[in-house]
A = this chain, B = another copy of it.
């Protein structure tokens, strides 16, 4: 059984779309239980008379972090915030994963605060269904000010994630304004040097089109500002070209538990899809495998 702590109040269409998503998920995932974390009267009202298969139950949380709040400060001020209670359930072994379609920053802060982290700088990873195969893009928005050291950590995390997903020796590329070495701003030049010396398969610079087309790299590393804007630009361009919706499910990598963050505009099917992604990460012990791969890669300490 996989127990998913679902943020009842996250996203533009919460709580209704969240509950509908939970109902869809338990139908399609027979081993999943959903804990609806939020005001229990709201949860009770929305599931009243519905067939929950006995695998959906409310867990009380009385506060909500808004999209316009500074995440860390809001979380400290709201110990009973839905996303914080959800993370606490994972820490206490009462749930296996957190799913939220609310603030990414709040989910990140809640996970770090309660479950700890595997690396100094966790990242939000999204998988883009590129033409030549899936591309892991990170950071898609967990960090707003980045250093070359952060980009190096993103590379290690993304590589471990891709490897845990079955890609052996994943190719890691640095998102830049040109393919040639030496391109880009100071951050990219420093990150290029750091990634060149890292225990991963660095294939050099890749460009914006390589994210949606694939073929050059399995993992594309960038700062959280650029990653967020690029992801949304790809979503917009795909919609513009009539390509339908792109899955925009993000996985927080580098925290001490599974946490899936969906788009704020998520509808019921999107919430259900986030729950499926979270359940799969739990079944495959993604966090444990990433920790193992990262641990095995640590450079030996000189004696």
Binds B, one of A44-52, A76-84, A156-164, A221-229: A221-229
Per-position contact with B for A227-243: 1 when CB-CB < 8 Å, else 0?
A: 01111111111111111
A130 contacts B by Cβ under 8 Å: yes
A212-B237, A237-B237, A237-B238 known; 14 new pairs, CB 8 Å cut-off, are A130-B240, A141-B177, A176-B229, A177-B224, A184-B225, A208-B229, A208-B231, A208-B232, A209-B232, A213-B240, A229-B230, A230-B230, A238-B240, A238-B241
Q: Which of B144, B207, B213, B236 contacts A185 (CB 8 A)?
A: B144
- What's the Cα separation between A210 and B236 when bound, in Å? 7
Q: Which of B145, B177, B180, B213 contacts A144 (CB 8 A)?
A: B177
**Across the interface, which residues of B come within 8 angstroms of A226, CB to CB?**
225-226, 229
Closest 8 CB pairs of A and B: A208-B232, A241-B243, A209-B236, A241-B241, A212-B236, A208-B233, A237-B237, A212-B237
Per-position contact with B for A63-85: 1 when CB-CB < 8 Å, else 0?
A: 00001101000000000000000
Say how far A208's CB is from chain B's closest CB, in angstroms.
3
Across the interface, do B237 and A234 meet the contact criterion of CB distance under 8 Å? yes
Interface size of A by Cβ–Cβ distance < 8 Å? Answer: 45
Give the residue name and chain of the B residue nearest to A264 (CB).
Answer: B178
A30 contacts B by Cβ under 8 Å: no
**Across the interface, which residues of B come within 8 angstroms of A185, CB to CB?**
144-145, 225
Per-position contact with B for A165-191: 1 when CB-CB < 8 Å, else 0?
A: 000000000011110101011101000
Give the residue name and chain of the B residue nearest to A243 (CB).
Answer: B241
Across the interface, do A177 and B228 meet the contact criterion of CB distance under 8 Å? yes
Say how far A229's CB is from chain B's closest CB, in angstroms.
4
Give the residue name and chain of the B residue nearest to A140 (CB).
Answer: B177
- What's the Cα separation between A225 and B185 when bound, in Å? 7
Interface residues of A in 101-148 (CB under 8 A from B): 130-131, 141, 144-145
- What's the Cα separation between A235 and B212 when bound, in Å? 9
- What's the Cα separation between A159 and B299 when bound, in Å? 51
Give the residue name and chain of the B residue nearest to A208 (CB).
Answer: B232
- What's the Cα separation between A235 and B184 when bound, in Å? 19
Q: Which of B141, B178, B211, B225 contacts A233 (CB 8 A)?
A: B211
